Amino acid sequence: MPASSVSHFVIDCLSIILIDLLLAGDNALVIAMAVRALPPRQRRTGIVFGAASAVVLRVILTIAATEILAMQGIKLLGGALVIWIAVKVLADAASPAAESTAPAHFLRAIWFIVVADITMSVDNVLAIAGASRGSVPLIVLGLGLSIPFVMFSSNLLVLLMDRYPWTMYLGAAILGKVGGEMMITDPFVLRTLHVSQTMSYAAEAAAMAGILVAGRILTAKRRLGHV
């Protein structure tokens, strides 16, 4: 392979790694919130699975980026799913630890991670697709090298939430902003509502507030044994 081709390959690979690292924060946050209520051994399994699934799903979505993002309503649906997941993982993370020993709880955490990875990756794959110049091996290599970063970030966030439980609500609010932004920037919504900057901020704020209120209500009901 000519030296110029090698240099281009290395530069493109580094570009993909950098882009993915910048975009991986949301995925790490979802993983951390989803596994926080699990026992330590299951936490590690969940983090490894979550980090790997985030990369695999992003590879698939990047390869099919144009076709997927051309579908109207994808971001609207994805944003709604992110908001729903944020409410559920907030309630799970704030619920009594005794629940976390159930296998169903572990499987639910994994399910939340996978769904969130899919929905939140949709809005990010175009940047990776552009940097890869259509090279599938480059996409796989670049994203694969970012797995340790996602795992490290998820572990760090779990430790932070254990030490400072209030950060769970901060994380849920951040996911609310992500979900609200996805919904309000969907092509169908933009064309139908002629969204202004003020409307965009209002949608994000409403999603953040809605998640926090719904999460608190669901947590209270679980502690009373109603859910």
Tell me: pLDDT of 159 over 60: yes
145: phi then psi, degrees, rounded to nearest 5: -70, -15
Cα dihedral sign, 52-25-29-180: negative
The average confidence (pLDDT) of the chain is: 77
Q: Where does the pLDDT of residue 93 fall: very low under 50, low under 70, confident under 90, or very high at 90 and above?
A: low
Predicted pLDDT of residue 101:
45
- What's the pTM? 0.72
Predicted pLDDT of residue 102:
47
Predicted pLDDT of residue 124:
62
Predicted pLDDT of residue 100:
44
Instruction: Report the alpha-carbon angle 104-210-151, nearest 5.
Output: 50
Average pLDDT value for residue range 12-31: 72
Pick the residue with more confidence: 44 or 146? 44
* pLDDT tens-place string over residues 164-198: 888 888 888 888 888 898 889 888 888 888 888 89
Contacts of residue 42, defined as CB under 8 A and 6 or more positions apart, other chains included, come to: 35, 100, 106
